[in-house]
Amino acid sequence: MPSVFSSPNPILFGRGAAAVVGDKLREFGCSRVLVVYDKGVEAAGVAATILGHLHAAHIQTVCFDGVLPDPPDTTVDQAGALGVAEGVDGIVGVGGGSSLDTAKGACLLLTNPGPIGRYYARPDAPPPAGLQPLKPIVVIPTTSGTGSEATPGGVITDTQNHRKQIIICPVSLAIVDPELTVGLPSAITAATAFDALCHAAEALTSAAPNAFGRVLGKEAITLISRALPLAYDDGGDIEAREQLQLAATLAAMSILGPFCHIPHELGQPLGSLFGIPHGLACAATLAESMRFVAPGVPEQVRLVAECMGPALSPGATADQVGQAAYGRIYDLRERVELPSLASFVPDKQQLLAAVPHICQVSPFVFSPVAVRPSDVTTILEQAYAGRVESAVAP
C-alpha cells in the first residue's frame, strides 16, 4: 500500500520560539484574537506569558479560560460564540490537547454556523465540504504529548452520545517552545509523553504502514525513551524537555498516514467512561497491545522494542519480540511511576462491562491483527492485572 505524506501544519520549533507569536499573527493580518486555554495553563503563568507576547505586538486579546479535559462540544460552542460576539479575527490555542482542540473547534465556528456537531469528520476522510474560509489559528502546546500542533485534527467529546468525534481545522502555524513545558508537573510530563509514545508505536505497527511515519515514529520513540526519565526527574532539564517536545511533534506527524489503533481506540472510551486522563488511558494497554499484535507484525514490534533498548536477537520469535516490547514499555512505565489502570477503576467487573460499548465505538480498522470482543476483554484483563513476567526470554 502506498505511503502518503502530507503534514499540513507549518511548525516553528525551538527554545524561546513563543516570543514571536504576536509578530506571526500580524503577518497573518490579525489584530484581535481569541486566546483559548484552561485554568491549569493560567495557574502555571503560561497564559500570562503568551498574552504578554501578544500585547507587546499590539494584538488585542479576548480570553476564554474555560477549556475542560476531553473537550465537550458545549465548551467548544461557548468559545466559538465568544469569538463571534467579540469580533475577533484570529485564534490562539495555548495548552495541552484539550486547549488546542477547543481552539480548533472555535476557529471553525468563527466563520461557520454552530453547533460544532455539524462538523464531525472521519479521520481518513477529507474535511466536510462547503466550509467558509477559516480565520488564522496559531496553536502553542504546553505539554509534550497531544501532537495536536502537528495535525489538522481535533478530538471533541460528543456529550449526547458519549463518544469522541473528530474535527478538521488546518493550523496556520504551530509554535512549539520547549521552555513552556519546564514547569509541567512530573506526573503530567509522564502521562503526556506516554500519549506521544502511543502515537508513534501505533504508527509503526499500523495496518496502514507508512514509509514516512516509520522514519518519524522511530525517532520519536528513541527520544522519549531517553529523555522522559530525565525530564521526569528534573523538570528543568531543558535538553530533555526539548527532546520530548520534538518527539511529541514527530509522533503526531508519524500518525498522520497510518492512524492510531488499539491503545487509542481503547483509551478514548476508557477515558470518557472512567475519567482517566487521555495519556494514561491510552498508555494503559500499550504494552499488552504491542504483545497482542506481535504475531501479525513482528518486524514492526521489533522496531518499537529496539528503539526503546538494545537490539534483540535476530532469531527472536514473534512471541519473544512481543514480550520484549511489553517488558520495555513496563520498564519505562515503572521508571516514571505511571498510575495503573486499577488505580482508576476499582472494580474489574465494571471495566469488563464496558467491552460492548468499546467495541461499538472503536472499529479497530487500523489494527494489524483482527480484534474480537474477546480480545478486548483479554487485553483489558491483562492491563488491569499489571505487569506479569513471562517465561519467554527475548
Distance CA 55, CA 79 (A): 21
Q: Which amino acid appears at position 215 of this protein?
A: V
Stretch that binds a second copy, among 6-14, 57-65, 259-267, 343-351 (CB under 8 A): 6-14
Least spacing, CB of residue 366 vs a second copy, in Å: 17
Q: Which of 103, 137, 203, 250 binds a second copy (CB under 8 A)?
A: 250
Tell me: does residue 133 bind a second copy (CB under 8 A): no
Q: What residues numbered 161-220 form the site for a second copy, per CB under 8 A?
A: 211-212, 215-216, 219
Q: Which helix (H) or strand (E) holds 94?
A: strand 90-95
C-alpha distances in angstroms, 343 versus 269, 274, 327, 382? 17, 11, 20, 14
Q: Which residues contact 9 (CB under 8 A, 6 or more apart)?
A: 139, 149, 150, 151, 152, 170, 171, 173, 174
Residue 254 near residue 199 (C-beta atoms within 8 A) = yes
Please report, in angstroms and rounded to a whole number, the separation of the first and last CA atoms in the chain.
30
Is position 31 an interface residue for a second copy (rule: CB under 8 A)? no
Q: Tell me: does residue 316 bind a second copy (CB under 8 A).
A: no
Smallest distance, Å, CB 30 to a second copy? 18
Kindly state whether residue 10 participates in binding a second copy, applying the rule CB under 8 A: yes
d(CA 342, CA 110): 42
**Minimum distance from residue 390 beta carbon to a second copy (Å):** 32
What per-residue string of b and e applies to 223-244 under the rule 16 or more CB within 10 Å gives b? bbbebbbebbeebebeebbbbb
Q: Does 12 bind a second copy (CB under 8 A)?
A: yes
Task: Work out how close the CB of 333 gets to a second copy at its nearest, in angstroms, rounded to a whole number.
Answer: 25
Q: Which of residues 12 and 318 has its CB atom nearest to a second copy in the complex?
A: 12
Looking at 13-21, 37-45, 48-56, 130-138, which segment touches a second copy (CB under 8 A)? 13-21
CB of 28 to a second copy, least distance (A): 13
Judged by CB under 8 A, does residue 14 bind a second copy? yes
- Point out which span in 14-22, 69-77, 347-355, 382-390 binds a second copy (CB under 8 A): 14-22
Phi, psi of 94, deg, nearest 5: -130, 120
Cα separation of 302 and 314, whole Å? 10
From the CB of 114, what's the least distance to a second copy, in Å?
30
6 binds a second copy per the rule CB under 8 A? yes
Angle at 311 between CA 310 and CA 316, to 5 degrees: 130
CB of residue 74 to a second copy, shortest distance in Å: 34
Q: Does 221 bind a second copy (CB under 8 A)?
A: no
**What is the sign, positive or negative, of the torsion defined by CA atoms of 188, 42, 158, 119?**
negative
Nearest distance, CB of residue 1 and a second copy, angstroms: 7
Residue 120 binding a second copy, by CB under 8 A: no
Residues 6+ apart with CB under 8 A from 136: 25, 28, 29, 30, 89, 90, 91, 172, 173
Is 379 an interacting residue with respect to a second copy (CB under 8 A)? Answer: no
Distance CA(266)–CA(355), nearest Å, equals 9
Which C-beta is closer to a second copy: that of 9 or that of 98?
9
* Least Cβ distance, residue 242 to a second copy (angstroms): 8
Residue 4 near a second copy by CB under 8 A: yes
Binding site residues, a second copy, CB under 8 A = 1-8, 10-17, 211-212, 215-216, 219, 246, 249-250
